[in-house]
A and B are shown apart, each in its own frame.
Chain A
Amino acid sequence: MTRFSAWNVFWNGLTSQKGWSRQWRDPEPKSHYDVVVIGGGLHGLATAHYLAKNHGIRNVAVLEKGWIGGGNAGRNTTIVRSNYAQPGNREFYEDSLKLWENLSFDLNYNVMFSQRSHISLLHSPGAVDAAARNYNTMRRTGAPDAEIWSLEQLKQAVPHLNYGPNARFPIMGAALQKRAGTARHDAVVWGYARSADQMGVDIIQNCEVTSITRDAEKVTALETSRGTITTSKVGLAVAGNTSRLWAMAGLGRLPIESHKLQAFVSEPLKPLLDQVVVFGVGGAHFYISQSDKGGMVFGGDLDWYKSYAQKGNLPIVQDVSEAAMSVLPCLGRVRLLRHWSGVVDMSMDGTHFICKTPVDNLYLNAGWNYGGFKATPASGTYFADLIANDRPHPVIANHDLKRFERGLQIDERGAGPDPKLHG
């Protein structure tokens, strides 16, 4: 496969672009692998990449029922940040952000990671205090880019927010993370796939796992739409479909519910917004950034009822539009280009699971709520480490299914055990 380099781009420009090869193979599934990862989203593909790269485990398959990146990997609003404050999350997301900073080099693929900064608007003295506490925690634990901004600073940086006297929620200031930003989600999918493939991983699309055969201790085989596959270890990374696979393995219940989240993109505009801006007050939630093509990319809350359907409902379209108008009134005449929805794996405390399971050779990666894009590099790194070494790295020690039995909830929002309230 041709490496991407300035020289190769130049040379192919002179030779009618004939020097490029396909990005990854399209192999037939083998009958046995050392590790099978189910789910060709970001987490599955990243896991395969790090299994090969960090642990030298290359006899690996990623099984994807549709096409890679067709799930939440290709549906998110691409926000990357590490402004988490709870122990466990703090280290994990900081690690992830550091990996993002080098990802394009690591993958030899431009994932367009743009550290344009992430601004949370603050609307009350209480919100300013809470943000100061969290952002001070960040500064003391490896994130010197955490800042609290006054209203004046914010007005200079983002002049067209609604600062008017009639704003429904007057803005008092902002919490800012400078190294945060966005990346191009498709490029991340393709970059991981290409790199994993190059190291020997088979990426098998249109291959749905339909049943899981096991004895008392181990998964023995996977039935798929492309035949039976045996494997020594299985990693589960199927996001919104986790409970269905969990049931296939005969494992009962999980602290997860599947909900749907919508996202929106407008017609392309000239440069308007140079940061990620987030608004959250009481029941309202809204986040927006501008893509490199100029489209305004934005979203809000879940559809509020449990769902496995990848289609959104209109009341949320209205909610999100209202939030847009109250934050950035200049968007009023902008036309919507597309909107869509993804099925997200909402967990009971809003935090994920990267852990062993009651079955010896089955490993779980799930519960990403709607924040799993930013987690991708760390998720893949620690999940690969778990599968390779059969024990959790200390950073993910509490990211197991048993934490609730120990009385521990890693609940950033303090929302309690109701999955739809974590976002």
Chain B
Amino acid sequence: MIRIPCPFCGIRDHSEFTYGGDGSITYPALDAPLQEWHDAVFQRENICGVQTETWHHVNGCRMWILVDRDTMTHEIHAVRPAHPDLAKALESSS
């Protein structure tokens, strides 16, 4: 079991979460050239090592979070809310 420290709920088993995918992807503007959309939707760096990814705490607080995780060792290096404003709010309250 991977243990994920949810910023809202604390340390929980990964079986409480569903895996989203590559969290480094940013989608281009709606009218951006097709090639940019193609790259965002289909192309992946597929890092062997630490990557940023999205997880959904579906059987917990139901928040989407960003996790920096090593894809070889499964070690987790950092966790934060996926929504940038929530991430900021958490930072300022702590």
Give the interface residue-count category, chain A.
20 to 34
Is A255 in contact with B2, judged by CB distance below 8 angstroms? no
- Segment with Cβ contacts to B, from A97-105, A137-145, A301-309: A301-309
Is B48 in contact with A243, judged by CB distance below 8 angstroms? yes
Is A258 part of the contact surface with B, judged by Cβ < 8 Å? yes
Residues of A within 8 A of B47 (CB): 243
Is B74 in contact with A404, judged by CB distance below 8 angstroms? no
Interface string of A303-318 (1 = CB under 8 A from B): 0111111000111000
Is A253 in contact with B43, judged by CB distance below 8 angstroms? yes
Residues of B within 8 A of A308 (CB): 48, 71-72
Is A258 in contact with B71, judged by CB distance below 8 angstroms? yes
Residues of A within 8 A of B73 (CB): 309
Is B31 part of the contact surface with A, judged by Cβ < 8 Å? no
Is B74 in contact with A257, judged by CB distance below 8 angstroms? no
8 cross-chain CB contacts under 8 A: A254-B46, A256-B44, A305-B53, A307-B72, A313-B2, A313-B14, A404-B42, A420-B19
54-88 of chain B: CB within 8 A of chain A: 71-74
- Nearest-neighbour CB distance to chain A for B44, whole angstroms, equals 5
Interchain CB contact (< 8 A) of A418 among B21, B38, B51, B72: B21
Interface string of A203-239 (1 = CB under 8 A from B): 0000000000000000000000000000000000000
A253 to B38, CA, bound (A): 12
Is A304 in contact with B19, judged by CB distance below 8 angstroms? yes
Residues of B within 8 A of A257 (CB): 21-22, 44, 46
Residues of A within 8 A of B51 (CB): 306
A307 to B53, CA, bound (A): 12
Knowing that A309-B71, A313-B2, A419-B44 touch, tell me 12 more A-B residue pairs with CB under 8 angstroms.
Answer: A243-B47, A253-B44, A256-B44, A258-B71, A307-B74, A313-B1, A315-B1, A315-B15, A405-B34, A405-B35, A405-B38, A417-B42
Residues of A within 8 A of B43 (CB): 252-255
Residues of A within 8 A of B53 (CB): 305-306
Interface string of A253-286 (1 = CB under 8 A from B): 1111110000000000000000000000000000
